[in-house]
Amino acid sequence: MEYNELMQSFAAKYGLADLNIDNGTAVLEIDGMTVGFIHDPVTDSVMVVAEIGYPETDASANFASAMLKANYLFAGTAGAVLCQNPETGAYALMREYRLVEHDAKTFEGALEALLNSADQWKGVLGAINEGDAGDDEAGPPAVDESPTGDFLRV
């Protein structure tokens, strides 16, 4: 399915009538979360970036540690990558989707799973910012079939 068709279908399903796609890029506000979509026509894929928020200065190390632990084998990220925007300092959850593998329904399901995971990470960031999570906080539980366990721990 074409990128513009998938995006229009997604926007229509969630009542996001003001979808503006500029050179393959769209930014939407979904449930109070800024979500960016960047289409790569060469690979026919779309990178989805869901902004989680900004860490308090003294909580930054704790959240960075939680992010790195969760990125290991994608165990706490639903197959996405936790990262920090170098321009804004915002933390985000980011994942690339090959469009050839998706129709409107599977694309919507994949985005919903990513946004649910990003929402969980917003909660983790909030808890760390408030001092409610310790250094060992590893983030929300995995929501996909990513391998977990201690078989690859070093």
Let me know if residue 140 belongs to a domain.
Answer: no
Let me know if residue 57 belongs to a domain.
Answer: yes
Span of 3-17, 99-113, 131-145 with lowest mean pLDDT: 131-145
Let me know if residue 101 belongs to a domain.
Answer: yes
Let me know if residue 141 belongs to a domain.
Answer: no
| Average per-residue pLDDT for the chain | 82
- Predicted confidence (pLDDT) per residue in 9-20, tens digit: 888 888 876 788
- Predicted confidence (pLDDT) per residue in 114-126, tens digit: 999 999 999 888 8
Let me know if residue 10 belongs to a domain.
Answer: yes
Let me know if residue 143 belongs to a domain.
Answer: no
Amino acid in position 87:
E
Calculate mean pLDDT across residues 58-68: 80
Q: Count of domains in the chain?
A: 1
Parent domain of 103: 3-129
Let me know if residue 45 belongs to a domain.
Answer: yes
**Model-wide pTM > 0.85:** no
- pLDDT recorded at residue 153: 34
Q: How far apart are CA 5 and CA 1, in angstroms?
A: 7
Using CA atoms, how far residue 44 sits from 1, 38, 47, 97, 98, in Å, is: 10, 11, 10, 9, 6
Let me know if residue 147 belongs to a domain.
Answer: no
- pLDDT recorded at residue 139: 53
CATH number of the domain at 58, please: 3.30.1460.10
